[in-house]
Amino acid sequence: MTELTNQHLNDLNQVPFSRPDFSRQNRKGVPEVILTSNKSVSQSLNITASFLEKAGRAILSRVSTELHSALIETYGPESLEWYEASRMAIVRRNGNRTPPTGGRVGILTAGTSDQPIAEEAAVLCQEMGCSVYTVYDVGVAGIHRLFGPLQELLESADVDVIIVAAGMDGALPSVVSGLVNVPVIGLPTSVGYGMGGQGQGALMAMLQTCSPGLTVVNIDNGIGAGAMAGLIANRVAAARAASSQGSQHDNG
């Protein structure tokens, strides 16, 4: 505990306007993500530089066109991993990467319009060391599109958890949760209009589900969904590895 506290104290005041949590992945298993949408370009660049210095990697979400250009100018296109749909960016120092954990995450979306938020979750899971398997546009308007990909996720990929992103009526997570034997995370998106617009209808539908095994994050909270899925998958992977080592020891 003392070591942890000292690390926190060392992390403080590295940036005048921010207190980045450089040790979060070591402590929590989930890296800090720099939400840039309400930060200036200068602030975002300064925080990015501090993460590169202290942690060897910076993950940025909701990156504006202006900030994207500034990142390329500062670090060069070869040092920038860019995810266009979600507008996420990763800058690494010396190829810094999280080793594979063996965790396996499936991600489904009801429509193509849900991809930007689903991709946020996918990127975070990847940065937590998980393998990620994505399938887009399999919503209830054509439910026959779901069954083949879902079977592949369960049997071929053998995923530990599934994130399901949906806007509009938000029905797909409940359908999936009623069919599978792994945890499902409902990710409502701000896709919709009228009385249930901006994701409220999807959120309420998911919260009111009668399908067991479904948990729900807030509207457009791709990072939250990815963090939860990554934690679940990595715990399962650790248990799987321990069981395998135990079996090998017994056989030996």
List alpha helices for the chain, DSSP H: 2-11, 24-28, 41-54, 65-75, 115-127, 144-151, 172-177, 200-207, 222-251
Mean per-residue pLDDT, 191-196: 87
Q: Is the pLDDT of residue 230 over 50?
A: yes
pLDDT confidence band for 251 (50 / 70 / 90): low
As annotated, the residues of the chain forming the CATH 3.40.50.1970 domain(s) are 104-235
Q: Any residues with CB less than 8 A from the CB of 50 and at least 6 apart, and which? A: 14, 15, 18, 20, 22
pLDDT tens, 11-35? 444 567 778 888 888 899 999 999 9
Confidence (pLDDT) at 252: 57
Residue 182 or residue 97, greater confidence: 182
Confidence (pLDDT) at 19: 82
Residue 235: exposure state from Cβ atoms within 10 A (0-12, 13-18, ≥19): middle
Residue 2 or residue 112, greater confidence: 112
CATH of 104-235, one of 3.40.190.10, 3.40.50.1220, 1.10.10.10, 3.40.50.1970: 3.40.50.1970
In contact, 213 and 184? CB cutoff 8 Å: yes
pLDDT confidence band for 247 (50 / 70 / 90): low
State how far the Cα of 14 lies from the Cα of 230, in Å rounded to an integer: 28
State how far the Cα of 34 lies from the Cα of 43, in Å rounded to an integer: 10
